[in-house]
Amino acid sequence: MKISVNKFIGNTAYYDGAVYSDNPFARLELGDNIFTDNSAYNGGALYKISIESDEKLFGVSLSTGGDQFLRNTAMKDGGAMYLNWESIYFSSSEFISNQATNGGAIYFINLGTIP
């Protein structure tokens, strides 16, 4: 799935992020998006989980390029992003003033590879 040139502003989720993906086979490509003032229990802007074998089968499961994550909050983990079993690639993305109890900008659990 590709999400490009969008604004996600002021979204609130009881549990997980403005963008949520729990499909273990989904590849998510972000580009030139703005995520501002989103809030959730985990991953204020983005919550994504995969499975351990995902990276072996599909390579990079999350990529960002030119995205801005501004003032997103999570009550628990990952002010901007909560990632589980992700193989990630970041390019020219900004994480500014995001807040959480753990991982103000990004919370990784069971991290895959970072090429």
pLDDT tens-place string over residues 76-95? 999 999 988 777 888 999 99
What pTM, to 2 d.p., does this model score? 0.87
The Cα–Cα gap between 1 and 38 comes to: 21
Q: Mean pLDDT throughout 51-64?
A: 62
Q: Six-digit token pair at 38? A: 């989103």
- SS3 readout for 72-87: CEEEEECCCEEEECCC
| For residues 60-71, average pLDDT | 90
pLDDT of 24 above 90: no
Using alpha carbons, list the distances in angstroms from residue 63 to 10, 76, 101. Answer: 23, 23, 24
